Structure 1
Amino acid sequence: MGSIPARKYSFESVKGFFLQDDPATNQTDFHYEAVNFGLIDRAYDTDTPGDADLTQWQRFAAYVRHLIETSPADTTYKLIYNGRHGEGYHNVGEAKYGTQAWNDYWSKLDGDGELYWFDAHLTAKGTQQALHNHAFLKRQFAQEKMPAPQKYYSSPLYRCLQTANLTYLHLDVPVDAPFTPTIKEMMREVMGEHTCDKRSSKAVIHKAVPSWNIETGFTEEDELWRPDHRETFAEHDARTHALLEDIFEHDSHAVLSFTSHSGAIASLLRVMGHREFGLPTGALIPLLVRATRTQ
């Protein structure tokens, strides 16, 4: 995986704003589309009598701006919309053979002659899941005045490229913050052993999304995936922490979009001290994140 730099920041999920971080919320039957993306209906210190006609999201966005503007020099905040890719052929493969057989044998192959899951692509269901989120976000931006992302990031794995495109392309977003994602190597799924988590070449990725940015240092071939070692939680969390440090150090935008994976999002939640919150394929979860520089 390469060396992980010394930590310069600590990260924390700021609680009390989204249902997803409330221990009373049952993650197994939670539907964010039905509850304004989970944003809690509450008052903020920045509310004024003139805010009566504003939506909950407009008042929350004003509060986040206030946090950013009034925080100490070593502290900042970002609102991050995290999306898990839609169903991929590897998900179908695991369901077909069962998790035990998948982990022991099938995941180490490129496919089974019927399904192909190396750097897995979306199934038809996965495509529909991403389009469902497209419609959801279109309503949120138009009706709830939820702020659109100012910067987009994606895992390099093919299913994420497809999901991000289907979710965000052609949405009505600000002209000064167009949908032009940056591909980040460290945003990918748990690495090793499973061929579905080995990425395609840089050339293949560029051909798929030629207008996107590929981060500096991105190698032509996947030099991180290993056939004989699967990342531990500790290893994954170390690179997630490094990913966040990179983004918080170099991106001043307040509202971001991440498109990644179940394991990547689980790692993100662990690093931030958020409760465990499993996402089905194609699901989204928002996070208000506080970063504090420690050195």
Structure 2
Amino acid sequence: MTDSLLIPTENDYLDAHAGASQQEQYKQLWHTELKTKRDSKGQLEFPWEFQVVQGFFKQSDSKTDDKVFNYATDHMGRLKPWKVIIDDLLQLNQEAPDNVEYKLLFLARHGNGYHNQIVETYGLDRWNKELHKLGKFGDIEYGPDPQLTPLGMAQAEENHRLWQQELQEGAPIPSKFYVSPLQRSCNTLQITWADLKPKSIVPQVDELIRETCGRNLCDKRSPKRVIQQRFPDFNTDGVVDEEDVLYHDDERETMINQSIRINKFLQKLFDLDYDAKNGKVDKKLAEEDTFIATYSHAGTIRCFINVLGHRNFTISTGGMIPVVIKGTRSS
């Protein structure tokens, strides 16, 4: 794969390393408020705390230069054969205390969309001043909810070939797929996994992992019925309202608020394997759901990285980062 389309750009790098002060504010908020916040029944709202497990992938190692690193030409960045990764995670889950669980998340970003093409053509300054609020410029339509460009489709096809190769080398097929309701993410997932995953594994559309909400028209989603028409094989229960009530023209969601939203997604994900009645992780479920794939956006992945305490890492358009996570539940 010498002619890879998954090489990070300068914009990708700047995007991945933006918002340092908000990252710091989120961390403070976590320690001073969120960690101990309780609901009306006295239950912790965020009982799970997360940390990145080193030694599995190059991306979590500070020595890896994220400005030039390309997972697609480097076996996804793995430091061990798949069989060892799978066995190690199985052992970690088997030997974990009752309140601890390990997962490997494949955090994928959608391929190039028409809004990305506009930014690349006219620059970020012009985007931020005027183009972000438009749906069409010249003959390019890019909002709301833009489609993938031919380049975006080709990036997803490159990921398809990569997964094909890695599956032959023993990679696991994720047991669950979660996807943003925006069609660029849904299409990226569809193209990447065409004929590779069993039809019985139904992707779940989840608004919690959509792109940063508001201000940019490209981040306004389509009505629920349209999503269902476009992607009849997807489960859309994670989209509550018919119309997009989360999008506002004049206000952009902060990185702090989006990080809280991503934390809620992770809480929900880890709670699926937790037996509340007996107060412990269900080992069988933990084993079945060790490998999870999400298909989302640059801003969303930046918040995943923030919540998990992973080092900031550049994700190319159409790119992906695998992260091994340890979740520890407080009672």
The two structures have a TM-score, normalised by structure 2, of 0.80
CA deviations 1:143-186 (Å, max 9, x no partner) are: x2011111111000010011000001211x4x5x7442000001
Paired residue for 1:48?
Answer: none
Shift of 1:113: 3.9
| 2:222 is the alignment partner of 1:200 | yes
Please state if 1:99 is matched with 2:124. yes
* SS across alignment from 2:140: coil
Give 2:87's aligned residue.
Answer: 62
C-alpha contact (below 8 Å) 1:169/1:179 kept by paired residues: no
- Show the 5 A alignment for 1:13-92: 13-41=52-80, 56-92=81-117
Residues 264-283 of structure 1: pairs in structure 2 closer than 5 A: 264-283=300-319
Alpha-carbon offset, residue 33 of structure 1: 2.5
Q: Deviation of residue 114 (structure 1)?
A: 1.3
Distance 2:130 2:238 in 1: 35
Give unmatched runs, 5+ long, in structure 1. Answer: 42-55
Q: Which residue of 1 aligns with 2:165?
A: 139
The 5 A counterparts of 1:114-263 are: 114-118=139-143, 119-142=145-168, 144-171=169-196, 173=197, 175=198, 178-216=200-238, 218-250=240-272, 252=285, 253-263=289-299
Output the CA distance in 2 between the equivalents of 1:20 and 1:225: 33
Amino acid of the structure 1 residue aligned with 2:166: Q
Paired position in structure 1 for 2:19:
none
- CA-to-aligned-CA distance 1:164-218 (integer Å, 9 cap, x gap): 00001211x4x5x744200000101111100111100001100111011112562
Contact 2:181 2:239 in 1 (8 A): no
Q: Is residue 111–residue 152 contact of structure 2 (8 Å, CA) maintained in 1?
A: yes
DSSP-derived class of the 2:137 partner: coil
Q: Distance in 2 between the 1:213 and 1:145 partners?
A: 28
Alpha-carbon distance in structure 1 between the residues aligned to 2:226 and 2:138: 22
- Contact 2:204–2:238 (Cα < 8 Å) also in 1: no
Q: Identity over the aligned pairs, expressed in percent?
A: 34
User: Does structure 2 conserve the Cα–Cα contact (< 8 Å) formed by 1:168 and 1:179?
Assistant: no
What is the TM-score when the length of structure 1 is the normalising length?
0.89
| Aligned length in residues | 274
Matched, 1:284 2:320: yes
Q: Alignment partner of 2:260: what SS? A: helix
Structure 2 residue runs of 5 or longer lacking an equivalent are 1-37, 40-44, 274-284
Look up the equivalent residue of 1:191 and give its one-letter code: C
Give me the whole-angstrom Cα distance separating, in 2, the residues matched to 1:216 and 1:27.
33
| Counterpart for residue 52 of structure 1 | none
| 1:278 shift after superposition | 1.3
What letter corresponds to residue 280 of structure 1 in structure 2? Answer: S
Aligned-partner residue type, residue 236 of structure 2? I
Instruction: Give the ranges of 4+ consecutive aligned residues of structure 1 lying more than 2 Å apart after TM superposition.
Output: none
SS in 2 for 1:66: helix
